[in-house]
Amino acid sequence: MPINVKYSSKEKSEKFLDQLKITMEDPIALVPQCLHEGMLCPFVQYRKKIYSMVQANKLDRYAGSADQFLSGVSETYKVISSGSVPILGTIHTPFGNLEYSKRGNTDEVVLAGVQNSQNETFRMLAFSSLVKSRGVRIYSSKTRFLATCKDDAPDIDFFEEILNEHSIPCTKHDIIEIGNSESYMDLIFLSKVTVRIHDDYRQNIIPIISKHILVRNPELDFTISCNILSQISDEVPMEIRMQYLSGKADTRTIIDGTRTFRKKKALSMKYFIIGDSVYKTAEEFLMAVENVNYDPMKINGIIENLTEGLELETPSFRKLLEMLWKEHRDEIISIYYPESSPEERRKLSGDPLSQLNQLGSIKDEIEVDNSISVSAWSPDAEFLLELIKIHRKRGSDEASRYAERNLTNSIRKSIYIAYLSVTGDSKKRGWMFSPEQSELALRLAGPLKSIISGNAEQMKEGMEELKKYGV
């Protein structure tokens, strides 16, 4: 911690002395309550020694002692006894600056901790030397000052208290929970207290907890787990953990980093991923992929022979095709359209799904042509057959456009209005036709309906029927 030394004004000196006098009114309060007060507990020993100092009125007894805390207590007493503080040292910490006055060889940080005991964060520094040398842990909140000389943690209420102190909304049951979204990380202290932080709460709480806990190795005392893709691994890599424990990353960054790490591991294991769902077989994966026109299961053989897994953000067949297309284009086309010719394949354009759809349209048009086995016996019958083909291939709008370009006589107009009545569009265009044409259309509508929607035999019968009306 950076340290500066400077002269202090008379007013500041007197204020600092008053602060030290308050501290030394009850020096035993400088010592935290240990969670394990055994015979060899250093905090029990400190209480006894300070009590002895007070009883003997010899608070300077440990001035120059090798024990930094006791030395700091005695040195603070000597500062009070001197009656002046001409020079103050300042230590710069992540939690603010703290001042101290030195009259001996006590470690400055320890001394500053003793002399700033009214501050719930800085008072822990009085035991910073003991934390480093013996691995004790210090815990401080507004209402509690605790320590442990063993690997132990205060109860969960302590953590709830410090979070409430910093206005962090949380709930407490067996664990403490912050936020409520689906993805979360668990910050676990000494395997005893769990703070579950959901990714809708972005703030890193380590800087807040660090104001209330002084330990030698935070990276060992705190562990992080994450529920995301836990079926793949429970590992959170050290570099990701350290980003959080050093206060450099927020909750979502840790969860996203863990997600990326575990997905990469899943793909190397030849698993398949959609969003945050993992599928261990190609069959399970393809069953989850959605498409109404193409059965994804047909490319199961391709997926099974991949050297690593695949990841989709959503169950999109289009995206799956895009991932496979460069290496497996002809194979995929052959699976869905084995009858397609090399020339048809060369003419394809657009994204992979569009190319399949183009082949589908070609196939549909061929099937439509093959389904019409009757032949035209007149130019008007040829007009009718072309109208039916376009309707079956591309729908009523395209068929109507064709018809309106070719309404060259009264028979064709009657055929067209009959077509419109069958498809339900006659009200939109009824004004285009004469009463005579509409009357003939009524007689044509029945046979035309069989031609439009019937099978080959019904179509043949319908065409024969139309001959009676001069088509």
pLDDT in tens, 53-98: 999 999 999 998 999 999 999 999 999 998 888 888 999 999 999 9
Task: Grade residue 246 by pLDDT with cuts at 50, 70 and 90.
Answer: very high
Structure tokens at 305: 């022979």
- Is residue 300 exposed (0-12), middle (13-18) or buried (19+ Cβ within 10 Å)? middle
How confident is the model at residue 430, as a pLDDT?
56
How confident is the model at residue 462, as a pLDDT?
80
**Mean pLDDT within 366-372:** 61
Residue 112 has pLDDT above 70, yes or no: yes
> Which tens digit of pLDDT belongs to each residue from 277-301?
999 999 999 999 989 899 999 999 9
> Which tens digit of pLDDT belongs to each residue from 312-350?
999 999 999 999 999 999 999 999 999 888 988 998 899
Structure tokens at 257: 């980093």
How confident is the model at residue 70, as a pLDDT?
96
> Which tens digit of pLDDT belongs to each residue from 9-23?
778 888 999 999 999
Residue 32 has pLDDT above 80, yes or no: yes
How confident is the model at residue 399, as a pLDDT?
85
**Distance, CA of 169 to CA of 65 (rounded, Å):** 45
How confident is the model at residue 108, as a pLDDT?
95
Residue 388 has pLDDT above 90, yes or no: no
State the DSSP H helix or E strand holding residue 142, giving kind and residue range, or none if neither: none
Stronger pLDDT, 375 or 340, i.e. the higher one: 340
Question: Which residue intervals of 289-351 are DSSP H helices?
Answer: 300-304, 317-336, 342-346
Task: Grade residue 427 by pLDDT with cuts at 50, 70 and 90.
Answer: low
- On average, the pLDDT of the chain sits at 90
**Mean pLDDT within 405-410:** 90
Residue 116 has pLDDT above 60, yes or no: yes
Structure tokens at 161: 């208290």
Residue 8 has pLDDT above 90, yes or no: no
Residue 5 has pLDDT above 70, yes or no: no
How many residues would you count in the chain?
471
**Distance, CA of 395 to CA of 399 (rounded, Å):** 6
Beta-ladder partners of 97: 92
| Percentage of the chain lying above the pLDDT 90 cut | 65
Task: Grade residue 372 by pLDDT with cuts at 50, 70 and 90.
Answer: low
- Nearest by Cα to 370 from 455, 284, 243: 455
Contact 285, 247 (CB under 8 A): no
Residue 378 has pLDDT above 90, yes or no: no
Structure tokens at 237: 């890599």
How confident is the model at residue 369, as a pLDDT?
60
Give the pairing of strands 311-312 and 171-172: unpaired
- Residue 431 is classified by DSSP as G
Residue 365 has pLDDT above 70, yes or no: no
- Nearest by Cα to 464 from 446, 437, 440: 446
Whole-model pTM: value is 0.74
How confident is the model at residue 104, as a pLDDT?
87
- Nearest by Cα to 156 from 174, 180, 170: 174
Residue 200 has pLDDT above 90, yes or no: yes
How confident is the model at residue 425, as a pLDDT?
67
- Nearest by Cα to 358 from 335, 334, 338, 340: 340
How confident is the model at residue 440, as a pLDDT?
81
